Structure 1
Amino acid sequence: MATSDFVLGGLASVGATFFTNPIEVIKTRIQLQGELAARGTYVEPYKGIVHAFVTVAKNDGMLGLQKGLAPALYFQFIINSFRLSIYSEAMERRWMHNRTGEVSYGLGLIWGAIGGVVGCYCSSPFFLIKTQLQSQAAKQIAVGYQHAHTSMSDALRQIYSKNGVRGLWRGSVAALPRAALGSGAQIATFGKTKALLVEYDLVTQPTLNSFSAGLIAGSIMSVAITPPDVITTRLYNQGVDAEGRGLLYRGWLDCFVKILRSEGVYGMYKGFWANYLRIAPHSTLVLLFFDELIAVRTKYSNK
C-alpha cells in the first residue's frame, strides 16, 4: 500500500468534511429525536432539514452547525486513508478486475468493504466522540442522551478515565456493518461507473468523470448506509453505566429490534434525506479530490 495514497486519501476527506459537517449535525439530531417512541407521540424540535438548520442556528448559534468538527476531521482522515488507499492499491494491482479485464462490481464490493471495515475500526473513537458532541444542544432542542463533554480532548479524557481503552472503542464492532455496506457500495459503484462512463463515451474528461461517478456512488451509498447509520448513531450516543454498558441497547441486534418494535421501518430511515444530502456531496468531493490529488502526484513524479 503506497504511503502517499494513504495520506492523499485522508487529505481528500478532510477537505470535503469542512463543507458537509453541518448537515452531519442535522442528520444526527434527526436520527436521535423520538428515540424508541412511536411516530406521532413525541415533540419534534427538528421538523425537516431546513427547519433543523434554522433551529440549530437560532438556539446553538452558527457555530453549533460545526459541532464535532475536530473529531469528524480525525475520523474522516483515518477511515478514508485506509478505504481509498486500499481501493487504489486494488485497482492498480487489478484485484478489482475480472478475467476479461473489466472492473468487477462484485470485487469492488469486497475490496470496498475491506477498506471500510479496517478504517472504521481504527477511527471508531473519533466517530464516538463526534456523535456525542454533535448531539449536544441547548436544553429546549436537546434530543438523545446529552454527554457533558466540552471538547474532543475533554471527551477523550472523560471516556478513558471512566472506562479505559475499551470505552473508547465502545460500539466499534457494531459499526462494522455500516462501514462494510456503505464503503462497499460506494467504492464498487465509483470504480464501475468511471469505467462505464468512459467505455460508452459518456463522460471522458477525467475531472468530470470522477465528479459524475462520485455523485452516483454517493447516491447508492446513502440508500445502503442509512439503517446501519441510525443504529450506529444510537449506540454511540447512548449513556453508559459504571461498567460501561449501554443504558438502552446491549448491541447492534438489540438496537435493531428495539427500533423496529417501537418506531417501525420509518425509524430505520430517520434522517434519510439529511444523510443523502451529506453523503452524496461528501462522496463526490472525497472521490474527486482523491483522483485529482493522485493526478497531481503522478504528474510530478513523472517529471
Structure 2
Amino acid sequence: MEDKRNIPIIEWEHLDKRKFYVLGICMTMMIRVSVYPFTLIRTRLQVQKGKSLYKGTLDAFVKILRTEGAAGLYRGFLVNTFTLISGQCYVTTYELTRKYVARYNNNNAVKSLVAGGSASLVAQSITVPIDVVSQHLMMQRKGESMGRFKVQSQDGKRLLVFGQTKDIIVQIFKADGFRGFYRGYVASLLTYIPNSAVWWPFYHFYAEQLSSLTPKDCPHLLLQAISGPLAAATASTLTNPMDVVRARVQVEGKSSIILTFKQLIAEEGPWGLTKGLSARIISATPSTIVIVVGYETLKKLSLRPELVDSRHW
C-alpha cells in the first residue's frame, strides 16, 4: 500500500512477526543505551527547583560526569530496560489499531492519530510503575537524593544496583502502598497519549511535504529520517509542560496535577514549563532518527518472503 505521495507504507499483515519482534528488541536496546543519559538529565532538570543545581543540559551533563562518573548517567538503567516489554506492546497496538481503523477510514493521518494514542495508552499502563522506580533511582546523587526517597547504605557501604532497586521499591510501598507505583499515571497519560497521537500524523505530514519538494529519485528513507526528528521536536514542544508536571508528581509524591501545575507557575513562572525541553529534544533527535530508520528498515527486513521482490524502494 502507498499513500498519496507515493511513500511506501508497510502494513502489519505484510510482516513476519517472529523476525519483527526479535530484531525490534535488539534495535530498541541499542537506542536506549545511547539516549538514556539525556533522559536522566531531563528528569533531574524538571524536578530541581529553579536552577539550584544544574543551569542547563550541558551543565548537568558535565557535573554528573565529574561528580558521579559515567555510571551516574545510567542510574536506574537496568530497571528501565523492562520497558522493552511496553515498547513491543506499543508497536503491536499501533499496527493493529491502524489495521482496524482502516476498515472505517483509510486516511493516513486519522489512522496514525488514533493508533498512536491507543498504543501510548497500552504502553503507559505497563511503563508507569517501571518509570516511577527508575526515576527515583535517577534522583540518587552521591551521598544524597533529589527525590523523596534515598537509597540506604548497608554497614557504610553503598548497595549494589539490584539492592538499590529493592530498597526503593520497599520505600515506595511503605509510603504509598501499591498505588505508589502508579503515582502520576494520569499525568503520564496526559503527556504521552497526546505526544504519541501528535507524533505520527506530523511524521507522515513532514514526510509528505518533503516528498513533494524533493526530486523523485530522493530515497524515501532519507525523507523519513528527516521527518522523524521534526515530528519529535514538534510533539516535545507541545507536550513538555505536562511532562514537567508528570515528573514532579512522580518524584515528589504529589497527588494533584492541578495543584502541582499551579505551584510550578507560582514558583517559577511560565518558563518553568519549558524545563528539560532542550534535553528532551536533544535526546529525541538522534533517537528518533535511529528509531525511524531502524523501524522502517526493520519492517523491510521483516517482510514476508513472498513480498520481498514486490516492494520497490
- 3-state SS in 2 of match to 1:175: helix
Among 134, 138, 151, the alignment partner of 2:142 is 138
Q: Relative to 1, partners in 2 of residues 1:24 and 1:225: Cα closer, same or farther, differing over 3 Å?
A: same
Structure 2: give runs of 5+ residues left out of the alignment.
1-11, 153-158, 309-313
Q: TM-score, normalized by length of structure 1?
A: 0.80
Task: Summarize the alignment of residues 240-259 of structure 1 with structure 2, pairs less than 5 Å apart.
Answer: 246=253, 249-259=254-264
* Structure 2 contact 199–232 (Cα < 8 Å) conserved: yes
> Using the alignment, how far apart are the partners of 1:228 and 1:74 within structure 2?
24
What residue number does 1:113 align with? 117
* Structure 1 contact 96–108 (Cα < 8 Å) conserved: no
What residue number does 2:33 align with? 18
Please tell me whether residue 95 in structure 1 is matched to residue 101 in structure 2: yes
What residue number does 2:242 align with? 228
- 3-state SS in 1 of match to 2:288: helix
What residue number does 2:294 align with? 289
TM-align CA RMSD: 2.9
Task: Summarize the alignment of residues 203-214 of structure 1 with structure 2, pairs less than 5 Å apart.
Answer: 204-214=218-228
Q: Residue type of the partner of 2:101? A: W
> Using the alignment, how far apart are the partners of 1:11 and 1:225 within structure 2?
28
1:100-125 deviation line (CA, Å, top 9, x unaligned): x5522x44223211111210111111
Q: How many residues align?
A: 282
> Using the alignment, how far apart are the partners of 1:109 and 1:9 within structure 2?
22
Please tell me whether residue 64 in structure 1 is matched to residue 78 in structure 2: no
Q: Relative to 1, partners in 2 of residues 1:284 and 1:277: Cα closer, same or farther, differing over 3 Å?
A: same
Q: Relative to 1, partners in 2 of residues 1:9 and 1:177: Cα closer, same or farther, differing over 3 Å?
A: farther
* 1:227, distance to aligned residue in structure 2 (A): 1.0
Q: TM-score, normalized by length of structure 2?
A: 0.78
Give % identity.
Answer: 21
- 3-state SS in 2 of match to 1:173: helix
> Using the alignment, how far apart are the partners of 1:144 and 1:160 within structure 2?
15
* Structure 2 contact 183–255 (Cα < 8 Å) conserved: no
* 1:32, distance to aligned residue in structure 2 (A): 1.5
Q: Relative to 1, partners in 2 of residues 1:29 and 1:89: Cα closer, same or farther, differing over 3 Å?
A: same
* 1:270, distance to aligned residue in structure 2 (A): 0.9
What residue number does 1:83 align with? 90
* Structure 1 contact 72–130 (Cα < 8 Å) conserved: yes
Q: Residue type of the partner of 1:222? A: S
What residue number does 1:243 align with? none
Please tell me whether residue 175 in structure 1 is matched to residue 182 in structure 2: no
> Using the alignment, how far apart are the partners of 2:92 and 2:224 within structure 1?
16
* Structure 1 contact 30–270 (Cα < 8 Å) conserved: yes
Task: Summarize the alignment of residues 258-297 of structure 1 with structure 2, pairs less than 5 Å apart.
Answer: 258-297=263-302
Task: Summarize the alignment of residues 141-180 of structure 1 with structure 2, pairs less than 5 Å apart.
Answer: 143-148=146-151, 150=159, 151=161, 153-154=165-166, 155-160=168-173, 163-180=176-193
What residue number does 2:43 align with? 28
What residue number does 2:230 align with? 216
Q: Relative to 1, partners in 2 of residues 1:272 and 1:227: Cα closer, same or farther, differing over 3 Å?
A: same
* 1:165, distance to aligned residue in structure 2 (A): 3.2
What residue number does 1:242 align with? none
Q: Residue type of the partner of 1:159? A: I
* 1:229, distance to aligned residue in structure 2 (A): 1.2
What residue number does 2:3 align with? none
Q: Residue type of the partner of 2:302? A: R
> Using the alignment, how far apart are the partners of 1:176 and 1:236 within structure 2?
13
What residue number does 1:49 align with? 57
- 3-state SS in 2 of match to 1:298: coil
What residue number does 1:123 align with? 127
Q: Residue type of the partner of 1:44? A: S
Q: Residue type of the partner of 1:254? A: L
